[in-house]
């Protein structure tokens, strides 16, 4: 029996497909930059809920019809309106959303959730630094850059305040000074920062003062090789001047009788801090003042006692209504979020069991939510159905897999940053590439 | 030619043509931020010029002008004061926020200091106008202007100017005299604002805000 050489079976169709693929690559390559989406000009908002949210009422709920050996849903303590999660279609699958999240339901088409994230700590300070940066802190001291700083450095295309932080710390270890956040203790401070000079002198005298400051230099400058303070002050004064010339401060006066403010008042719950924070964040982006904004939407989630049953769900509703309003607002000019990404997160979750005081303590299995167009829609990961514990997950499907990975903030941030056109290497974990739908070009 | 050879030839053509196309394409040039006039910090941390912390700035302004800014507590965190709960490091960036709020603070304290000085007869008790003869008719061409500027340079910046012609005094003299003459009646109406501007400029000088 003669030996027959085995060649792979290749049909004429396969050959033609190969040739057509090559020809298409050849034809489209010159316009590749036009097809790719540039990261510059992309907008980013990070919304932080301070104190540790109850994911069973929000991003990782359980069906109250089920029984769970390690979870007490607290149904006997909660008001009826907070007892039932509701089904939402995400990426073609049905998922449960917590009863406090109804305000986000209209934006489910943009949502990617990461469930069962191991925060590896139940200390507020450590977990905050960890969640803001996606890198394990040294004690409570942040070691990485805030995600807002990273986004600003990647997305900025010449904005006057590339990175803004409202009522929240911001870290910049690796990027140029101009990407350090302008910090506000309260969202209302934005009007002081970009508004008219307080106690300004007559115009001619102000001009003379400005000229004198332009000529001023530090006594050590001639012998100093670092950043000169007069240069940095000059850049900041120049930006202030341009901000004042643009006269955008009126667009942050939410009491003004203008059509734009009428729309904002109708959209946002401005009678609370959550609404003011998210409205200010949206306006910073819509006025092109900033490329990235990080805001503490609300605090008060650290409900260890009997107040949990009432305060936790109501405060979640307040925050999600404000975030929902912001998503609606930002979708006005970017309906599919082709150039917008919103991250919603808290430092950790709360225990699945009710403690002796009628509240919930700190728990490490957290959830993060992303609304945008760069990630695959749906839910990556899961916590243990029975006890809200951590599970090993398949990095491709995101489903439980004993041989898989333990999901950590590093994975989520590396994935998000790579999709936004940034460098994921500082996170020292492989991005979940199967969940990146498109990568912006840096 | 077998089908396999045909396929191989087709794929080779595709790969070669793709490589040629890549070689011919040109990426768009990277965006250059026109504000990027300062490069990355290269001086070791311990040798860097450092901005005053929020509390150092408040204290310095108080010492220099004798006046306290009304909004210190409101804006302390924005100016970089840590809360030692979440933020443990002093904010020291020369940010837009710092430049704006430092300007507001300097104008308010300087205005109060100059106005208060105008009501004090004893020159040694004055803070800003210590060497000026007549504070009722505040004349930018007062014969002791240069002596007062040398006093203020020492007070605010630690600069001991022994000569009235010291070029470090020139910007402040320009603020006082520019567009006026010593016989111009307008000089008396503008005197107060111009001294406030001199004080404000000294409080916003890089040597006042850094160490």
Cα-based distances in Å from A204 to A306, B169, B176, B194: 62, 20, 12, 10
Mutate to test the interface with B, among A18, A172, A209 (most CBs of B within 10 A): A209
- State how far Cα A86 lies from the chain centre: 24
Please tell me the predicted confidence (pLDDT) of residue A223. 83
What is residue A19's predicted lDDT score, i.e. its pLDDT?
Answer: 52
How many beta carbons lie within 10 A of that of residue A265, not counting itself? 16
| Band (B91; pLDDT cuts 50, 70, 90) | confident
* Contact B94/A at CB under 8 A: yes
| Residues in B touching A185 (Cβ below 8 Å) | 74-75, 77-78
Domain annotation covers residue A237: no
Asked whether the beta carbons of residue B97 and residue A184 sit closer than 8 angstroms, the reply is: yes
**Is A247 domain-assigned?**
no
Task: Compute the distance between CA of residue A374 and CA of residue A144 in angstroms, rounded to an integer.
Answer: 23
Residue A353 lies in a domain: yes
Q: pLDDT at residue B16 above 80?
A: no
Question: In chain A, what residues touch B171 (CB-CB under 8 Å)?
Answer: 211-212, 215-216
Q: Is A239 on the interface with B (CB under 8 A)?
A: yes
- Collect all residues of chain A within an 8 Å Cβ-Cβ radius of residue B194: 205, 208
Q: Would you state the pLDDT for residue B44?
A: 76
Whether A169 contacts chain B with CB within 8 A: yes
Give the DSSP H/E element, type plus range, for residue A147: helix A147-155
Place of tokens 């957290």: A366
Residues B108, B156: Cα–Cα separation, whole Å: 16
- B83 against B7, higher pLDDT: B83
* pLDDT for res B88: 76
Least confidently predicted of A3-17, A153-167, A242-256, A273-287: A3-17
**Binning pLDDT at 50, 70 and 90, where does residue A270 land?**
very high
Token pair 């100017």 is at which residue?
Answer: B161
In a domain, A3, yes or no: no
Residue A136 belongs to a domain: yes
A418 touches chain B (CB under 8 A): no
- All residues of chain B having their beta carbon less than 8 Å from the beta carbon of residue A221 are 206
Q: How far is B119 from chain A (nearest CA, A)?
A: 20
Q: Is B205 on the interface with A (CB under 8 A)?
A: yes
Whole-angstrom Cα distance, residue A237 to residue A241?
6
The answer to whether residue A244 sits within a structural domain is no
Residue A119, class by beta-carbon neighbours within 10 Å (0-12 exposed, 13-18 middle, 19+ buried)?
buried
What tokens appear for B26 in the block? 């040109």
Residue A313, token pair as written in the block: 């769900």
Residues of B in contact with A158 (CB under 8 A): 31, 33-35
pLDDT tens digit sequence for A309-329? 999 999 999 999 999 999 999
Task: Say yes or no for a CB contact (<8 Å) between B38 and A12.
Answer: no
Residues 293-332 of A with CB under 8 A from B: none
What total of structural domains would you count in chain A? 1
**CA B47 and chain centroid, separation:** 20
pLDDT at A220: 84
Alpha carbons A408 and B187: distance in angstroms, whole number: 68
Q: Three-state DSSP class for A116?
A: strand
Q: Which two tokens stand for residue A341?
A: 């990404």
User: Which pair of structure tokens corresponds to residue A339?
Assistant: 């150039």
**Across chain A, what does the average pLDDT equal?**
91
Residue A141's SS3 state is strand
Domain span holding position A129: 37-189+256-435
Instruction: Out of A22, A189, A240, name the one closest to residue B11 (CB).
Output: A22
Tokens 């941390």 sit on residue? B45
Please determine, for residue B126, whether its predicted confidence score (pLDDT) is greater than 90.
Answer: yes
For A94-150, the pLDDT digits (tens) are: 999 999 999 999 999 999 999 999 999 999 999 999 999 999 999 888 899 999 999
Rounded to two decimals, what is the model's pTM?
0.83
Sorted by sequence, the CB contacts under 8 Å of residue B52 that are 6+ apart come out as: B60, B209, B210, B211
| CATH number of the domain residue A281 falls in | 3.40.720
From A19, A157, A182, residue closest to B14, measured CB to CB: A19
Test the A interface: residue of B78, B166, B211 with most A CBs within 10 Å: B78
Note whether B17 contacts A22, CB cutoff 8 Å. yes
A 10 A CB-CB count for B11 gives 15
Given a cut of 80, is residue B13 above it in pLDDT? no
Any B CB within 8 A of A36 CB: no
Q: Do A229 and B100 touch (CB under 8 A)?
A: no
A357 within a domain of the structure (yes/no):
yes
DSSP string, A71-109: ----TTTS-GGGT--EEEEETTEEEEE-TT-GGGGGGGG
Inter-residue contact A39 to A442 (CB < 8 Å): yes
- With vertex at residue A420, the alpha carbon angle to CA A366 and CA A243, rounded to the nearest 5 degrees, is 105
pLDDT tens-digit map of A340-376 = 999 999 999 999 999 999 999 999 999 999 999 999 9
Chain-centre distance for alpha carbon A87: 24
Which of A121-125, A151-155, A433-437, B42-46 has the least mean pLDDT?
Answer: B42-46
């Amino acid at each position: 029996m003669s030996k027959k050489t085995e060649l792979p079976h290749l049909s004429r169709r396969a050959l033609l497909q190969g040739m057509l693929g090559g020809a298409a690559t050849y034809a489209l390559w010159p316009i590749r930059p036009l097809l790719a989406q540039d990261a510059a000009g992309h907008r980013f908002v990070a919304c932080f809920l301070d104190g540790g949210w109850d994911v069973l009422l929000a991003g990782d709920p359980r069906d109250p019809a089920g029984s769970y050996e390690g979870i007490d849903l607290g149904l006997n303590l909660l008001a009826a309106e907070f007892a039932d999660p509701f089904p939402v279609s995400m990426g073609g699958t049905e998922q449960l959303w917590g009863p406090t999240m109804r305000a986000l339901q209209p934006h489910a088409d943009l949502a990617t959730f990461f469930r069962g994230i191991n925060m590896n700590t139940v200390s507020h300070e450590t977990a905050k630094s960890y969640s803001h940066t996606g890198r394990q802190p040294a004690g409570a001291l942040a070691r990485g850059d805030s995600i807002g700083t990273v986004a600003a450095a990647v997305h900025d295309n010449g904005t006057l305040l590339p990175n803004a932080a409202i009522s929240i710390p911001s870290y910049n270890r690796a990027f140029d000074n101009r990407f350090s956040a302008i910090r506000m203790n309260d969202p209302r401070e934005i009007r002081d920062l970009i508004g008219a000079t307080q106690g300004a002198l007559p115009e001619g005298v102000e001009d003379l003062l400005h000229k004198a400051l332009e000529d001023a230099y530090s006594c050590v400058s001639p012998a100093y090789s670092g950043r000169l303070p007069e240069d940095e002050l000059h850049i900041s004064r120049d930006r202030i001047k341009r901000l004042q010339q643009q006269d955008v401060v009126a667009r942050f006066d939410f009491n003004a009788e203008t059509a734009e403010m009428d729309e904002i008042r109708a959209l946002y719950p401005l009678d609370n801090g959550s609404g003011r924070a998210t409205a200010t964040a949206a306006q910073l982006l819509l006025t092109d003042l900033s490329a990235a904004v990080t805001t503490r939407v609300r605090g008060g989630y650290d409900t260890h006692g009997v107040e949990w049953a009432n305060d936790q769900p109501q405060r979640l509703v307040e925050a999600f209504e404000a975030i929902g309003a912001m998503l609606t607002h930002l979708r006005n000019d970017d309906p599919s979020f082709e150039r917008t990404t919103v991250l919603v997160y808290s430092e950790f979750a709360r225990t699945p069991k009710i403690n002796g005081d009628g509240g919930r303590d700190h728990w490490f299995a957290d959830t993060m939510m992303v609304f945008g167009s760069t990630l695959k829609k749906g839910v990556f990961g899961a916590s243990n159905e029975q006890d809200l514990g951590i599970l090993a997950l398949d990095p491709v499907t995101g489903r439980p897999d004993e041989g898989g990975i333990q999901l950590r903030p590093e994975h989520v941030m590396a994935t998000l940053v790579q999709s936004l056109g940034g460098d994921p290497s500082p996170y020292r974990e492989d991005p979940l590439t199967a969940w990146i739908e498109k990568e912006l070009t840096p | 030619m077998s089908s396999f050879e045909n396929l191989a030839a087709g794929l080779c053509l595709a790969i070669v043509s793709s490589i040629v196309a890549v070689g011919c394409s040109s990426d768009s040039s990277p965006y250059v931020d026109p504000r990027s006039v300062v490069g990355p910090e290269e001086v070791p941390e311990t040798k860097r010029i450092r901005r005053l912390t929020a509390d150092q700035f408040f204290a310095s302004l108080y010492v220099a002008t004798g006046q306290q800014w009304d909004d210190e507590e409101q804006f302390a965190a924005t100016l970089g004061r840590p809360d030692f709960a979440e933020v443990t490091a002093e904010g020291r960036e020369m940010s837009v926020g710092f430049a704006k709020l430092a300007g507001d603070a300097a104008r308010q304290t300087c205005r109060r200091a100059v106005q208060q000085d105008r009501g004090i007869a004893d020159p040694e008790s004055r803070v800003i106008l210590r060497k000026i003869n007549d504070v009722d008719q505040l004349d930018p061409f007062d014969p002791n202007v240069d002596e007062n500027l040398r006093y203020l340079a020492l007070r605010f910046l630690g600069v001991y100017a022994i000569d009235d012609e010291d070029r470090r005094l020139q910007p402040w003299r320009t603020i006082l005299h520019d567009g006026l003459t010593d016989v111009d009646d307008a000089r008396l109406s503008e005197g107060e604002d111009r001294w406030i501007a001199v004080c404000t400029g000294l409080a916003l000088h890089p040597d006042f805000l850094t160490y």
